[in-house]
Structure 1
Amino acid sequence: MSDAAARDLSALARRCGLQEHWIDAHRQARRVGPEQLHRLLRALGVHCESADDVAAAHAALDATQRGTPALLVARAGYVLPLPQWRDGPADLVSGADEDVHPVTLESHAQGAQLRLPIKPGYYELRQAGQAAQRLAVTPRAPDMDALLGRSEPRSWGVMAQVYSLRETHLDPVLRTWGHGDLATVASLAKRLGSAGADVLALNPLHAMFSADPAACSPYSPSNRLFLNVLYAAPAQVLGEAAVRQALDSLPPKDWAALDQGAEIHWPRAAAARLQVLRRLHEQFATRDASLQRDYRSFCEQQGQPLRDHAVFEALHTFHIAAAGQIQPCTTWDKTWRDPRSRHVRDFADHHAKDVDFHCFTQWLAMASLAHAQATARNAGMGIGLLSDLAVGVSPAGSQVWSDPDSFLHGVSIGAPPDIHQPRGQSWALSALSPSAMQRRGYDAFIGVLRAALARTGGTRIDHILGMERLWLVPEDGDPADGAYLHLPVDALLGLIALEAWRHRSLVIGENLGTVPAGFDDRLRDHGIGGMNVLWFMRDSEAESAPFMAPEQWPRDAAALTTTHDLPTLMGWWHGTDIHQRRDAGRLSPEKTATQLLTERQADKLALWSCFGDGSPLPASAPLPAMLAFVASAPCALALASLEDIAGLDEGPNVPGTTVEFPNWRRRLPGNTMTAMDSPPWRDRLLALRQTRERS
């Protein structure tokens, strides 16, 4: 490639948002090669094989930039330039109630400008002779002070993996069937609320694959608009009598046996639950008329996206049954991959009962979530349930199948090589296309936000750094061959803040890893909280840096003991995470497990010196003291994982592994509700609660 061609390609990549130059975890300058740029540009839908292609792509970008965005996103009270408008009278129409607000556009050097209203919301700007312009007027997201109605709150809560919960009741109607569900969440929320907690944070509840329950990572969902129906709590919606009737009509089953293992057998547990749900669906026609009206109203409200998801679920089941093995939709015949094809329409008509079943289970799941949130609030929780918004979706899931034009294809979201993951990571996830979002007025993104905030008290956004840039890995490529793609960060964060304001919800983001310069300031500006995780709260970025005193932790971020991808308190103390990475072959070549364990011993001494009583370093993790250390931070919210309350060595997930460990399958020991009354759990919760009350 000539120097001129290389410069043109670099310029095109830059205009498309690709970052050619970047700094790796070792502070070394790196550059994306021309071949990688070609592959990534093709994935973005940009042809760049020849000089003519590159010139045509530049021309297309010029035309796009001259056009009017489908949705302009700007802060309330700011002045918005409108280059293609004229000064004079106009109308600002509220998108919610069609209220008309006369406004005057002021003269601007390149056209006109509008001083935006103070009240946030969605509007349409109209002026005679001018095409209407959609506007999103954004606020700061509400913080804990505003949501709880008190200044400088000292709230606390617990993080739980829904599936790990367990209730071992003699009555099968009241027990868990192989994994936790939203009934167990409601019970846990009631107990925590009565103890003074304000938040119960959950793993992602997104829709998974009913026909392939072994694909169980909640961070690789089928569809972020809908819920995992295996979490539905039918007795909370239809009543215990309906569930008992369904169970009695099925062949006898040892329901207790499903709950006895330390790990979940997802195919077996899912088969049992789906059998009950299908029987409930068959019996639903005889149920209370008000429930049937509620179900029909739900289907009308959810519209085409719900039907698409239900049709996909039925099609997925059909293909697996026909082939006798898992058949991802990416391998289906082309006619089945088009949700609007005649073949798909005919299939849906001929399998109307199956399609309705999948709509019905979504209704049950969403009603179950609403019930759990109401239970949390009625128990005294100021926020209630905190959902978790995964960073992307499976490319073989219903959301990409239903709306392929909204997603990037031929690439996966991932992470570049770093100290902890020297090979880098490719997460096999599809991301929303930035150009499609802008072209379509961010509708797909807004839909995902609304789904995350519906029926909850807020959401945690996984890998919120992805609002500014995503590491894209070419399909079948090495993670090190990827590149950063920049996104319209201010628009995305503004829309997050707007939807949080509209729902009166809490939003925090996982701002961990290599944080772009100025990104945390952007979060603060939009009122979005970050995360202070104990293991990363050091006085400097050096690996051996001493731990930062809790009073120095940033106040505008939640204080956390750990996350689902990091070691538990007990596991960190025992070096379990190091042993796991060694066993999985995931250690960096720079250091052996022995060296890392030696460094961990020094870290333990450093942490113990922050809160210990001068006695020798204990052999086992001093969990109450560690919990109190995190809880003493001046943050408005402190969260401890239920694994830490239980004193477990192993966490839910070991990053970078798939089959080496039982990721997303571990259950908490014993009956979760009974365990909360045990002295160890009670002492640890008390350390968390009392420290928050005293601080």
Structure 2
Amino acid sequence: MTLDIDQWRISDGWFDVSGTWNPVSDQVRALLRATIDDKLQAEDQDPGPPIWFVHPGERHPLWNACDVRLEDGTDVSDDETDSGAVLPADLPLGVHDLIPRDGGPITKLFVTPTAQALPGKCWGWTVQLYSTRSRSSWGQGDLYDLATLAKWANTNGASVISHNPLGDTLPLSTQEPSPYFTSTRKFASLLYLNVEAIPRAREILGSRLDELSNAGRALNGSPLIDRDAIYELKLTALRQVWAVAANSAETREIIGPLGTDPELVDHATFNALAHRFEAGWDRWDRIYSHPRSRSVSSYRESHQDEVDFWIWVQGLLALQHSRAATAGAGLMNDLPVGFSQNGSDSWVDQDCLALDWRIGAPGDEFNPDGQNWGIVPYLPQKLRARAYEPWIRTLRRLMRNTSALRIDHIMGLFRLFLIPEHDEVTGGAYLYQYGTELIDIALMEAVRAGVTLAGEDLGTVESEVRYAMDERRIPGYRVGWFEDSRAADWPYASIGSISTHDLPTLTGLVNGSDAHQREAAGITVDPDDDQRMRSNLERSVLPAGAVANEMSTGDLISSAYRCLADSGSFAVFASLEDACMSDERPNMPGTVDEHPNWRIALPSTIEDLNSTAAPMITEAMTDRAADPAIWNVVESTESGSMDSRH
């Protein structure tokens, strides 16, 4: 059986983990084709410009004489040879216009690097920022806590902190807990704002700030994150500061340059409307359903103060994020697969999206019933017709104030499993993307920004994806629970760890508590699966002959991280969950309300980390300690501009 992809880029089926062929039903195929046809045949549909991808140093012949207009507006002429016009070989990285002198169509010319250079061997921490409280936190970790953590990590030899996505949620009283299901990927949530650090907050709020901060710190006493309460407290404080300081010089200094940022203005307008209707855009009055409508423009003009408020909030977040990025260890941001169907990103980019479909995954050994992630997909044809502008905008935003970017489920750049809205997971199909173009653009933006690019590639990975990553030196992940080879044998172009946020902690699997938590959540526990994971752990990151179940928790953590420190991977990550000897994983796939996913706080505060197993892990990593600056600049192996954006 061979895979067939039709003209709509829909596959006729897929092989599951057991090698069984699963054909796509005629009904699903017809529905998806109709969705794509409707989008492509929409009124005023623009087929988009021709697109051409090249690498620096390449000399390609041209059909006609052309000029190249670079991103900065500079015009460059083609090279003349005896054989005719040739594309200049020394073009900088970027998206340029190839303009025929005879007046033909303008081609979007993408000059992308062939590969990235990786930093030297180093180590860092994986962090769920919301769970990482300090004693001064208002119920969850914030950007000031991230700065404190970065300084602590740097002091103890770590080079980088890999944190969860920080994307903004809908501005509603009920807050979405998952950092992978946000309103937008491009802008941060006010939940991560340190309110007490807002300019003039103390002066304006006075004793009211003490009341709010006491209420916020009282939330630290709960083992679970109460985002709804945190949001109410922080929004209340922000509104009260804004009421006094909206027209102050300090505030206008923050808002001024941001007010000309069209992406931010769109997002602020969305939040203003969502706050008014107390809902996502699928429940607004229809006149506001499109960001380019006259009604939206009129609303923005008549509610400028509210729009400015949300611009100001993002300005404060950007300032605090910048502070964290320069506090110590470098930061590694996280790019989710997508965003919610009724949020800011889907409102802005709705013309490129299949709004009646959801991204998910077919069944596998960990989730036999498959998964519906609830997020909406871009249509590859529409994204390409826009010359990938939405993709580029997202990348550039997430590469600000960061040293590295992790692309979650990087396989999704090549194909996405789509499910009709409200249908069962089994009724889905793979829609193939223009994967090499998407990954080339991601690498181009990373190299220009001085950011190291990595891809989470756990699960079923097609050979095309593996080849594309290897060729471009984009590291994937090696996880001890899954590997049967010694960590020392893992390839240099990889990132090593013992677990992930979706998998058990060391303590949780070995002492059996993770199995009990799965049973309590209604998940069938197969003892053989757990034993297989323990066996993988023993083979990959424990000394020869060690038996995980016979070791104390302290010895297990120390031994595992000493072996991980010897990994062949250029970077390895320790988890704060292991440092705090937590037996609870951040997320349990296959559950929603059955388990407190993304709501579990670490049992120790940042101030108490040196009293946990963190010093033991730090000692284990001593030989890998490197200058944290290696994560702040990544040198390109290509000629071309190094346009820093962070």
TM-score, with normalisation over the residues of structure 2?
Answer: 0.89
Following superposition, the deviation at residue 46 of structure 1 comes to: 5.1
Residue identity (%) = 29
Q: Does residue 559 of the first structure (1) align with residue 496 of the second (2)?
A: yes
Q: Does the 8 A contact of 1:141 with 1:498 survive in 2?
A: no
Q: Does the 8 A contact of 2:61 with 2:87 survive in 1?
A: yes
Q: Does the 8 A contact of 2:94 with 2:444 survive in 1?
A: yes
The equivalent of 1:7 in structure 2 is none
Task: Quote the Cα distance in structure 2 between the aligned partners of 1:452 and 1:105.
Answer: 42
Q: Does the 8 A contact of 1:386 with 1:459 survive in 2?
A: yes
1:248-397 equivalences under 5 Å are 248-249=207-208, 252-253=211-212, 254-255=214-215, 256-285=217-246, 287=248, 289=249, 292-300=252-260, 302-303=261-262, 305-320=263-278, 327-376=279-328, 381=329, 384-397=330-343
Quick check: 95-104 or 194-203, which moved more?
A: 95-104
The one-letter code of the counterpart of 1:527 is: R
Following superposition, the deviation at residue 485 of structure 1 comes to: 1.1
- 1:106 to 1:273, Cα distance in 2 relative to 1, 3 A: farther
- 1:615 to 1:17, Cα distance in 2 relative to 1, 3 A: closer
- 1:549-571 Cα offsets, whole Å, 9 max, x none, are 11211210111122111111222
1:104-183 equivalences under 5 Å are 104=80, 114=87, 116-117=89-90, 119-129=92-102, 130-145=104-119, 153-168=120-135, 175-183=136-144
Task: Quote the Cα distance in structure 1 between the aligned partners of 2:222 and 2:19.
Answer: 45
Question: SS of the counterpart of 2:6?
Answer: helix
- 1:29 to 1:283, Cα distance in 2 relative to 1, 3 A: same
- 1:35 to 1:375, Cα distance in 2 relative to 1, 3 A: same
The one-letter code of the counterpart of 1:216 is: P
Following superposition, the deviation at residue 605 of structure 1 comes to: 5.7
Task: Quote the Cα distance in structure 1 between the aligned partners of 2:226 and 2:334.
Answer: 23
Following superposition, the deviation at residue 141 of structure 1 comes to: 4.8
Q: Does residue 27 of the first structure (1) align with residue 1 of the second (2)?
A: no
The equivalent of 1:533 in structure 2 is 479
The one-letter code of the counterpart of 1:389 is: L
- 1:615 to 1:141, Cα distance in 2 relative to 1, 3 A: closer
The one-letter code of the counterpart of 2:151 is: K
Q: Does the 8 A contact of 2:48 with 2:385 survive in 1?
A: no
1:667-686 equivalences under 5 Å are 667-672=601-606, 674-678=607-611, 680-686=613-619
Question: SS of the counterpart of 1:353?
Answer: helix
Q: Does the 8 A contact of 2:272 with 2:307 survive in 1?
A: yes
Q: How well do the aligned residues superpose, as a CA RMSD in angstroms?
A: 2.8
Following superposition, the deviation at residue 477 of structure 1 comes to: 1.4
The equivalent of 1:638 in structure 2 is 572
Q: Does the 8 A contact of 2:78 with 2:86 survive in 1?
A: no
Following superposition, the deviation at residue 358 of structure 1 comes to: 0.9
The one-letter code of the counterpart of 1:566 is: L
The equivalent of 2:350 in structure 1 is 404
The count of aligned residue pairs is: 618
1:582-661 equivalences under 5 Å are 582-587=519-524, 593-597=526-530, 599=532, 606=539, 610-611=543-544, 617-618=550-551, 620=553, 622-661=556-595
Q: Does the 8 A contact of 2:349 with 2:390 survive in 1?
A: no
Task: Quote the Cα distance in structure 1 between the aligned partners of 2:461 and 2:516.
Answer: 27
Following superposition, the deviation at residue 431 of structure 1 comes to: 1.9
Following superposition, the deviation at residue 332 of structure 1 comes to: 3.0
Task: Quote the Cα distance in structure 2 between the aligned partners of 1:615 and 1:476.
Answer: 43
Question: SS of the counterpart of 1:222?
Answer: coil
- 1:472 to 1:81, Cα distance in 2 relative to 1, 3 A: farther
- 1:72-102 Cα offsets, whole Å, 9 max, x none, are 22222335576xx32xx43223212515244
Task: Quote the Cα distance in structure 2 between the aligned partners of 1:494 and 1:70.
Answer: 17
Question: SS of the counterpart of 1:207?
Answer: coil
The equivalent of 1:573 in structure 2 is 510
Following superposition, the deviation at residue 353 of structure 1 comes to: 2.1
Question: SS of the counterpart of 1:427?
Answer: strand
Which structure has greater helix proportion? 1
Following superposition, the deviation at residue 247 of structure 1 comes to: 5.0
1:465-484 equivalences under 5 Å are 465-484=411-430
- 1:465 to 1:207, Cα distance in 2 relative to 1, 3 A: same
The equivalent of 2:191 in structure 1 is 230
Task: Quote the Cα distance in structure 2 between the aligned partners of 1:247 and 1:31.
Answer: 65
- 1:134-172 Cα offsets, whole Å, 9 max, x none, are 211001453333xxxxxxx2211001111111121xxxx
Question: SS of the counterpart of 1:72?
Answer: strand
The one-letter code of the counterpart of 1:73 is: F
Question: SS of the counterpart of 1:197?
Answer: coil
Q: Which structure is higher in RCO with an 8 Å CA cutoff and minimum separation 6?
A: 2
- 1:298-338 Cα offsets, whole Å, 9 max, x none, are 221x22x2222112212222222xxxxxx332233322322
The equivalent of 1:76 in structure 2 is 56
Task: Quote the Cα distance in structure 1 between the aligned partners of 2:82 and 2:592.
Answer: 58
Task: Quote the Cα distance in structure 2 between the aligned partners of 1:616 and 1:424.
Answer: 31
- 1:141 to 1:236, Cα distance in 2 relative to 1, 3 A: farther
The equivalent of 1:550 in structure 2 is 487
- 1:279 to 1:506, Cα distance in 2 relative to 1, 3 A: same
Q: Does the 8 A contact of 1:73 with 1:495 survive in 2?
A: no
The equivalent of 1:324 in structure 2 is none
Following superposition, the deviation at residue 615 of structure 1 comes to: 10
Question: SS of the counterpart of 1:206?
Answer: coil
- 1:179-199 Cα offsets, whole Å, 9 max, x none, are 110000001101111222110
Q: Does the 8 A contact of 1:412 with 1:428 survive in 2?
A: yes
Q: Does the 8 A contact of 2:483 with 2:540 survive in 1?
A: no
Q: Does residue 45 of the first structure (1) align with residue 29 of the second (2)?
A: no
Following superposition, the deviation at residue 286 of structure 1 comes to: 6.2
Following superposition, the deviation at residue 650 of structure 1 comes to: 0.8
TM-score, with normalisation over the residues of structure 1?
Answer: 0.83
The one-letter code of the counterpart of 2:30 is: H
Q: Does residue 94 of the first structure (1) align with residue 40 of the second (2)?
A: no
The one-letter code of the counterpart of 1:559 is: G
Question: SS of the counterpart of 1:143?
Answer: coil
Task: Quote the Cα distance in structure 2 between the aligned partners of 1:166 and 1:197.
Answer: 19
The one-letter code of the counterpart of 2:204 is: Q
- 1:582 to 1:679, Cα distance in 2 relative to 1, 3 A: closer
The one-letter code of the counterpart of 1:182 is: L
Following superposition, the deviation at residue 646 of structure 1 comes to: 1.2
Question: SS of the counterpart of 1:532?
Answer: strand
Following superposition, the deviation at residue 269 of structure 1 comes to: 0.9
Following superposition, the deviation at residue 361 of structure 1 comes to: 0.5
Following superposition, the deviation at residue 290 of structure 1 comes to: 5.8
The equivalent of 1:246 in structure 2 is 205
